[in-house]
Amino acid sequence: MAEILLFHHARGLTEGLCAFADRLRADGHTVYTPDAYAGRVFDNDEDGVRHAETIGHDAVAHVGMRAARKHPAADVVIGFSLGTMQAQLVAQHRRGIRGCVLMGGAMPPEHLGSAWPAHLPLQIHVADPDDWCTTDDVETLRRGAPHAEVFTYPHRGHLFVDPTLADYDADAADAFEERVADFLARIDAGRAEPARVTL
């Protein structure tokens, strides 16, 4: 089973994300939930983004790398929106990572100081359309990771996976969780081979 670092979105470590982490634990995985906001949770994206900007990009990134050092056996990273930067950073710079899941965010690998590791399995999930993570954002990462699995969710809100937020969509969230569960099972079985991109 996987040891997972799960990085929260701009609203903070919500009850919805904690519940998802608990479901992963119930499947037998070990899940750590680093909190860049030290317990604060925000009612809207704008306040959350403003708080992240106050903390600073470097400090948020540091939380991700510090979590990776604290949990050296962690081998899968999952990031939501703001947390995709942390997940992608750890995936690109820590040895031993076996898989990465990004939900609602993607960056060009070179913006994080290195190329995407060859053959590192990657899943990207994004609403369509999504003002916070555009098709161009996804494509800039996919150029560096052409084997990535990309799943789009038409006519859903940015954070459709979190039941504590207005964007929540049960059907899309269930599809996301099923795809992540399948990805983790394939990683455990050593067969997380590239799948066809669905963009």
Of 198, 2, 199, nearest to 99 by C-alpha is 2
pLDDT (0 to 100) of residue 195: 45
Of 32, 28, 43, 44, nearest to 8 by C-alpha is 32
Domain boundary assignment for the chain:
3-188
What are residue 12's DSSP bridge partners? Answer: 9
pLDDT (0 to 100) of residue 193: 58
| Residue ranges for the chain with pLDDT beneath 70 | 192-199
CA distance 96 to 140: 24
Q: What letter represents residue 5's amino acid? A: L
Residues 175-196 have pLDDT tens digits of: 999 999 999 999 999 876 544 4
The full DSSP string for the chain is --EEEEE-BTTBS-HHHHHHHHHHHHTT-EEE---TTTT---SSHHHHHHHHHHH-HHHHHHHHHHHHHHSTT--EEEEETHHHHHHHHHHHH-TT--EEEEES----GGGGTSPPPTT--EEEEEEES-TTS-HHHHHHHHHH-TT-EEEEEET--TTTT-TTSTT--HHHHHHHHHHHHHHHHHHHTT---------
pLDDT (0 to 100) of residue 196: 43
Instruction: Report the relative pairing of strands 99-103 and 76-80 from DSSP bridges.
Output: parallel
CA distance 159 to 166: 8
Q: Which position has the token pair 């991700």?
A: 64
pLDDT (0 to 100) of residue 190: 83
CATH class label, 3-188: alpha beta
